Amino acid sequence: MEKLVIRGGKPLRGTVRVSGAKNAVLPIIVASMLGMTQSTLTEIPELADVQTVCDVIRSLGVEIKKLQKGVLEIDAAGLNATAAPYDLVRRMRASFLVMGPLLARKRKAEISLPGGCSIGARPIDLHLKAFEAMGASITLADGNIKAEVPQGLKGAQIYLDFPSVGATENVLMAAAMAEGKTILENAAEEPEIVDLATYLNSMGANIRGAGTNVIRIEGVKTLHGAAHAVIPDRIEAGTFMVGAAMTGGDVFVENALSEHLKPLIAKLKEVGATVEEEIDGIRVMGGSQRRSVDIKTLPYPGFPTDMQAQFMALTTICKGTSVVTETVFENRFMHVDEFKRMGAKIRIEGRSAVIEGVPVLRGASVSATDLRAGAALVLAGLVAEGETKVGYLYHIDRGYDNLVAKLQRLGADIVRVNMEEEN
Ligand SMILES: CC(=O)N[C@H]1[C@@H](OP(=O)(O)OP(=O)(O)OC[C@H]2O[C@@H](n3ccc(=O)[nH]c3=O)[C@H](O)[C@@H]2O)O[C@H](CO)[C@@H](O)[C@@H]1O
Ligand SMILES: C=C(OP(=O)(O)O)C(=O)O
């Protein structure tokens, strides 16, 4: 098994460039299925999830060429299948986003229930209710969802019970080519939704209001390919920012957009870090004192759930008691037990974790229980006394582009080793 081996104690210093956003690139690659001509996408991060989403849409007849590092050319003229294979869908929840484009272009879709992720049950009822409102009939058999809309999708007024990111994206893609107008209320407002809408509009769609909680979509008959550069990854940026604050370092996170990171910036300042918002990135300098701070995750523009684990890593070494409350996912505290192995003092009370800061963490063997938990354990390893070994790296590989090389360039003592070879 491969592991990351980290020797803590080195402050992160220097410049790191943020890659394109995982949570923007996945829906954007899927949205390319709607184009009748070729799209060129740039700022594509090197991630296992990008590979998986490309495999999913290739299996449906879409041609994808990697022109050079970070650049994909996608041609969906030959889209010819309507069933997404189970072994790919189970690997990544975002695969379920192909349902919208398949219904729009092929009027039917068959997709396995997306793979359960350890952070919560993650149902897809809001996606399905929205498709039903647009005229689709949906059946579930043998773990597969079959949706059909023989007369084509019709625009509808849809209210999401929760501002789900994935459901908003699926509706945007379906409604872009539906007949008539769709009004989506209580829509998700994340920057990744805006990026998807920008791309769809450059493909010929008519979408207004993305980034607010009401999105209006006037359906068009066809869409064409377009050129698009994916936005920077605010969660990757946030991970390095927390790393700088934790290690008492000084890091310029190039390409990070401060307008996407307001809650994190505010909380880092509360902890005692200095944060400078610059035109081409964000500089974070960690102080010697770290004060305890409370956070509560919320849909955008609230504190992102995808930064909760990394921020909790920081609170483990803040002076005093911090409370971290998770409201978006019901089971996103798997990292707590791993932090405890490293000497952190944390107890869980319902949806909150109460963290009593300790002066030092100790290196230990720990497991990445999910993507952000993995990143959080790496951050903990950077400040721990002695050696930390982080296993189950496939979680981290899903969503961080060259994490080890980027950390090494910032001065971290971190290597990736194959433990079997070592023995
Ligand atoms: C690929 C991608 O972009 N992933 C992000 C996306 O996931 P994802 O799109 O899956 O997240 P959602 O916003 O849909 O989920 C938020 C909450 O709504 C619930 N829910 C969602 C859909 C549904 O039909 N029914 C339902 O109950 C979920 O179980 C969860 O508790 O947004 C999450 C919330 O910001 C992030 O953590 C993920 O990194
Ligand atoms: C939960 C995450 O991703 P996904 O929705 O792809 O599982 C994440 O990026 O932290």
pLDDT in tens, 231-283: 999 999 999 999 999 999 999 999 999 999 999 999 999 999 999 999 999 99
8 has a pLDDT exceeding 60: yes
pLDDT for position 421: 54
Judge whether 62 and 75 are in contact, CB under 8 Å.
yes
Distance 47 CA to ligand 2 centre (A): 12
Contact in structure between 182 and 171 (CB atoms under 8 Å) = yes
Q: What is the pLDDT of residue 423?
A: 44
Q: What is the pLDDT of residues 166-223, one digit of tens each?
A: 999 999 999 999 999 999 999 999 999 999 999 999 999 999 999 999 999 999 999 9
Delineate the domains of the chain, giving CATH numbers in brackets.
2-19+232-422 (3.65.10.10), 22-229 (3.65.10.10)
pLDDT at res. 113: 83
The residue whose CA has the least distance to atom 4 of ligand 2 is 93
- The CA 20 to ligand 2 mean position distance, Å, reads 15
The residue to mutate among 398, 400, 401, 403, having the most atoms of ligand 2 within 8 angstroms of its beta carbon, is 398
DSSP-assigned beta bridge partners for residue 227: 40
Query: Whose Cα sits closest to atom 29 in ligand 1?
Result: 122
What atom in ligand 1 is closest to the CA of residue 300? 35
**Strands, sheet with 413-418, edge to edge from the N-terminal-most edge strand:** 365-367, 387-391, 2-7, 413-418
3-state secondary structure of 243: helix
318 in active site: no
Q: Of 98, 145, 162, which is best to mutate to test ligand 1, by the most ligand atoms within 8 angstroms of its C-beta?
A: 162
Residue 322 tokens, joined? 């911090």
* Distance (Å, whole) CA 388 – CA 385: 9
Name the DSSP class of 332.
Answer: -
Q: Is 167 in the pocket of ligand 1 (CB under 6 A)?
A: yes
Closest ligand by atom to 92 CA: 2
* Distance of CA 179 from the midpoint of ligand 2 (Å): 32
- pLDDT band (50, 70, 90) for residue 420: confident
State whether the beta carbon of 125 lies less than 6 angstroms from ligand 1.
yes
Q: CA distances (Å), 227 to each of 43, 219, 220, 232, 423, in order?
A: 11, 21, 19, 16, 49
Using a pLDDT cut of 90, give the percent of the chain over it: 91
For residue 207, the number of C-alpha atoms closer than 13 Å in the C-beta half-sphere is 31
Residues forming a β-bridge with 296:
325
- Per-residue pLDDT tens digits for 273-305: 999 999 999 999 998 889 999 999 999 999 999
Closest residue to atom 8 of ligand 2, CA basis: 306
Return the structure tokens found at 4: 């990351």
Q: How far is the CA of 117 from the centre of ligand 2 (A)?
A: 9
User: How many CB atoms sit inside 10 A of residue 402's CB?
Assistant: 13
- Given a contact cutoff of 8 angstroms between Cβ atoms, the answer to whether 378 and 400 are in contact is no
For residue 83, list its beta bridge partners. 110
Any idea which ligand is nearest the CA of 26?
A: 1
Contact call for residues 230 and 47 (beta carbons, < 8 A): no
70: left (phi over 0), alpha (psi -120 to 50) or beta: left
Atom 32 of ligand 1, residue of closest alpha carbon: 165
- Coil, helix or strand for 166? helix
pLDDT value at 91 more than 80: yes
Which residue out of 71, 81, 113, 117 is catalytically annotated?
Answer: 117
Q: Is 24 in the pocket of ligand 2 (CB under 6 A)?
A: no
State the chain's mean pLDDT as an integer.
96
Looking at per-residue pLDDT, the higher value among 116 and 406 belongs to 406
Structure confidence at residue 88 (pLDDT): 86
pLDDT in tens, 351-367: 999 999 999 999 999 99
CA–CA separation, 336 vs 157, rounded Å? 41
Given a cut of 80, whether residue 111 has pLDDT beyond it is yes
Question: Per the annotation, does 332 bind a ligand?
Answer: no
**pLDDT computed for residue 422 by the predictor:** 53
Cα distances (Å, whole numbers) of residue 243 to 24, 297, 321, 337, 378:
23, 19, 20, 20, 9
Span 114-161, pLDDT tens digits: 764 578 788 899 999 999 999 999 999 888 899 999 999 999 999 999
49 CA to middle of ligand 2, Å? 10
CA distance 355 to 210: 37
Token output for 343: 């000497």
Q: Report whether residue 249 contacts ligand 2, using a CB cutoff of 6 Å.
A: no
